[in-house]
Amino acid sequence: QSTCETLLLDDCLCDIESIDNFNTYKIFPKIQKLQERDYFRYYKVNLKRPCPFWADDGHCSIRDCHVEPCPESKVPIGIKAGSSNKYSKRANNTKELEDCEQANKLGAINSTLSNQSKEAFIDWARYDDSQDHFCELDDERSPDAQYVDLLLNPERYTGYKGPSAWRVWNSIYEENCFKPRSVYRPLNPLAPSRGESFYTWLEGLCLEKRVFYKLISGLHVSINLHLCANYLLEETWGKPRWGHNVKEFIHRFDPIETKGEGPRRLKNLYFLYLIELRALSKVAPYFERSFVDLYTGNVQEDAESKTLLLDIFRDTKSFPMHFDEKSMFAGDKKGAKSLKEEFRLHFKNISRIMDCVGCDKCRLWGKLQTQGLGTALKILFSEKEIQNLPENSPSKGFQLTRQEIVALINAFGRLSTSVKELQNFKLLLQHTR
């Protein structure tokens, strides 16, 4: 049984091969292009929020994890960020200082922004403020939120692992999966026993709660895939060489090495892909309205970005095998309403857990992908509001902020990359066996 077999996905009607082909030939090339455009490459994020659940590790642990904020003097008034840097706490001794200097390298966020970009951001803020926004995101208005150029900060292996990373993922699963404490997630290093009891429990859940677990698992798989595909293979003369780490991939996903968990996990990646794909096809009417633009101030670029985005929406609608969210929250109105609210709160909680990630670059991508998935769910839960949008004016019923739009597209871009990388690993495995 290979790691990447043709699997029929539970909870929706589709096979993996169809998704692979659709992604490789239709979605991947276009979404890559879209992510390079100015509107989508700059993400405003607050990386300074304290962890609300436990004391921060707070030491410089890994050099590939750090995000360098722009010096105060270079940041325009419009996006000035607080200048505290959690890695600048006084080190106890010289050894620690040396480690800190090294740690600042690998996990560093490269926050280089040209003066032109900074001026543009002030203009963007002016434009965004003039729009009627009915939902405010806690991060966007914080003085600590700053723009990060995603193209300068690719998601890749940073060396962030061990107890600190496990604690974050455990909190995400254990606290947020509607789960009794006696049922342990398979291969959870902190669990006393492993086995089928978890899956018996999972299958007994209502569809909504099962979906929630699969989405979190799919996100975890996707992030792991990016790290395996963009791994620091060696460093000679200070020049890092990044590439595919087949051994790491086998360790995380091979059926034998993972006691059958690998294929189950990969199924969840495809499931998440379909959910976000569905959200994109559903949100198309919001962007098809003529007054909605992807504003950067460059009229031609904005028009091209919108054309490319609408082209991707057309492709998502043409894919025949979507997850049908109508089966979710279809029960009695009262029950459905409280379940939706529970979903929303669980999600909010997960974004807060992302503030506990001890590596800035990992935190950046964790927050972005969580927000992208949160935005996808918001879209799926707002179908009526989207259908009733007025043609020529914003609506109190449904609205997306710039940050949500950027997160939605980049999060789906990461999933598209994961599905593509899975193909690459499949080929590499054929060559190595």
Phi-psi region of 413 (alpha: psi -120 to 50; beta: other; left: phi over 0): alpha
Block mean pLDDT (10 aa), the chain, length 433: 41 74 96 94 89 64 54 37 29 48 57 73 67 51 84 85 80 70 65 65 74 89 93 83 92 88 89 92 93 88 95 92 66 73 80 86 92 90 85 79 93 97 92 75
Written as six digits, the tokens of 129 are: 């403020």
Is 156 flagged in the annotation as binding? yes
* Structure confidence at residue 189 (pLDDT): 57
The answer, as to whether pTM is greater than 0.85, is no
pLDDT reported for residue 142: 76
Q: So which residues are the catalytic ones? A: 359, 362
Is residue 251 part of an annotated ligand binding site? Answer: no
pLDDT at 62: 53
Q: How far is CA 141 from CA 47, 80, 96, 185, 204, in A?
A: 13, 11, 35, 37, 42
Judge whether 169 is annotated as a binding position.
yes
The number of CA neighbours under 13 Å toward the Cβ of 203 is 5
Is 114 annotated as a binding-site member?
no
Q: Is 298 exposed, middle or buried (0-12, 13-18, 19+ CB in 10 A)?
A: middle
pLDDT at 312: 97
Has 220 been labeled as part of a binding site?
yes
